Amino acid sequence: MVAEIPAQTDANTQKVDAVVIGAGFGGLYATHRLAELGLDLRSLEAGDSVGGTWYWNRYPGARVDSQSYVYQYWFSDAVLEEWDWSERFPAQDEVERYLNFVADTCDIRRHYRFNSRVTEATYDEPRNRWLVVTDTGERYDAQFLIACTGGLSVPQFPDIPGIEDFRGECVHSARWPAEDLEVGNKRVGVIGTGATGIQVIQTLAPVAKQLTVFQRTPTFAIPMRNPHYDSDDRARIRARYPALKERVFTTFTGFAFDFQEKSWQEFSPDERTALMEQLWADGSLIFWVGTFAEVFFDPEISREFGAFVARKIRARVKDPEIAEKLIPTDHGFGSRRLPLETHYFEAYNRDNVSLVDLRETPIERITTEGVKTSQAEYALDTLVFATGFDAGTGALSRIDICGRDGILLREVWDDDLRTTMGLQVHGFPNLFTTMAPLAPAAAFCNVPTCLQQQVDWISNCIGYLQAKGRSVIEPTRELEDQWVQHHDELASQTIIADSASWYVKRGRNGKSRMLSYLGGVKAYGELCDDVAAKGYEGFTIA
């Protein structure tokens, strides 16, 4: 007997066990793990190759801020053995090459369909299956839907009038063309001074004829120490891999280091300064998430760190007025992401670089010629928007994800930004997410660690269902309420909760919620494992 085909599927709908969305760190690993479970898979990616963040963000100076020896996968001995990192903090092209190497070495690419953007996913409740539709008209009928769509993947353009009037070249950092843009001998403007803007500015400063930086909020940043690795370095680092593979899942942020064991109060003022100098000299994010946990709770300690960084900035910027403009005064050290920089502050000592403080002279509009502030018009050939992302919810909210009872995920989130451990959402059975709100995410995690942790949980869960002969899993509303409450309790104790950065998502209803789970990678892993060990306690399984 031929099975009845439901109304929304047709003969062209391909039946698979699972659809994975995305070919970044999370999607590639999810594809690998689910293929290992023997699932019939289709993985879909909007870009024309693998890489995710490292495929899209090819702006000048794009570079990772995590040490290469922890910014990697641990699942493949062949990859660990064969892949050689060239430096401590590799540039975009190297990380992209790494992900291509993994896809090829582990034969992951064959599961993918590229240039295929998912536009709709509808849960067919009577059949307990997802109907997934792409912009190329492909349709998949899948039991499981795993969305590895990234937490920072939808570029955000600022709401400034006149953008479409500009006659020069206009580009968002996250959509920099692969063939590159010629910026030498050009008048370039950059709007945005977050982690991305800093990398763009320090890279274009020596190249552009004139570089005008439009800064709304200055950013605490510290110098990156980025030695190149030779074969001896690599051998030394490789010998640490077995320990690192365990270590990263047991620290607070998924790096190899952790917070200081002694508290701030146990150090004398001189010892504190000496420690700050020592961590500063390391030139890594240890200065941010390897100091004292109290930095994130105690505004006074945050101020001390801010004052230390401010002194360093003043010592590097020749013009004292410019130096003051580059020092944050409206947010504490630690409440926003700490970028690592290379000659960023020295860029402002150059004759061809100028800083426009938008707090003093706001942008009124973009004109045909450039940027017009309340005080002047800046003629430009190229305008770069380093204005960030629609963080956390951006990618999933742009897909029409329709769960039980016809509810849309974006409407649920517009009303109340909620998930269960960032892995599932009540009302959306068999939909799994990575890097979603309320899980450890980019804000406070070395992303590959968090992604491997989350994908492992998801694939173990699907493996469990297979083994038990079950087909559907969904968190109960009660469990989700508990998780949201736990998440909020942790977030509200920190100085980050009040941050006006992408860490905190403001919903259309005016309510806001911290995106990233702040209990730490280790505690998060233990909580998630505990739920699994208890037979997915708090989930409905059918």
Give contact residues for ligand NA7 (rule: CB under 6 A).
Answer: 152, 158, 160, 191-197, 216-217, 337, 358, 386-388, 442, 502
The smaller minimum CB distance to ligand NA7, of residues 356 and 438, is found at: 356
The smaller minimum CB distance to ligand NA7, of residues 151 and 403, is found at: 151
The smaller minimum CB distance to ligand NA7, of residues 99 and 386, is found at: 386
Minimal distance, residue 330 CB to ligand NA7, in Å: 9
CA end-to-end span of the chain: 25
How far is 363 from 377, CA to CA, in rounded Å?
A: 9
Q: Which helix (H) or strand (E) holds 504?
A: strand 504-506
The smaller minimum CB distance to ligand NA7, of residues 160 and 323, is found at: 160
How far is 417 from 194, CA to CA, in rounded Å?
A: 24
Minimal distance, residue 329 CB to ligand NA7, in Å: 13
Minimal distance, residue 88 CB to ligand NA7, in Å: 17
For 284: left if phi > 0, alpha if psi spans -120 to 50, otherwise beta; the answer is beta
Contact 55, 96 (CB under 8 A): yes
Minimal distance, residue 363 CB to ligand NA7, in Å: 6
How far is 391 from 151, CA to CA, in rounded Å?
A: 6
Q: Which residues, 6 or more positions from 18, have their beta carbon under 8 angstroms from its beta carbon?
A: 34, 39, 40, 41, 42, 142, 143, 144, 145, 146, 462
Longest dimension (CA), the chain: 81
* Full DSSP string of 342-370: SSHHHHTTSTTEEEEETTTS-EEEE-SSE
* DSSP E strand boundaries for 179-264: 187-191, 210-215, 222-223
The smaller minimum CB distance to ligand NA7, of residues 41 and 442, is found at: 442
Minimal distance, residue 500 CB to ligand NA7, in Å: 7
How far is 89 from 200, CA to CA, in rounded Å?
A: 16
The smaller minimum CB distance to ligand NA7, of residues 192 and 332, is found at: 192
The smaller minimum CB distance to ligand NA7, of residues 34 and 191, is found at: 191
Minimal distance, residue 374 CB to ligand NA7, in Å: 13
Minimal distance, residue 57 CB to ligand NA7, in Å: 8
Using CB positions, name the residue nearest to ligand NA7.
Answer: 194
User: Could you tell me which of 61, 57, 60 has the C-alpha nearest to residue 25?
Assistant: 57
* Residue 235, helix vs strand vs coil: helix
The smaller minimum CB distance to ligand NA7, of residues 507 and 538, is found at: 507
Minimal distance, residue 501 CB to ligand NA7, in Å: 6
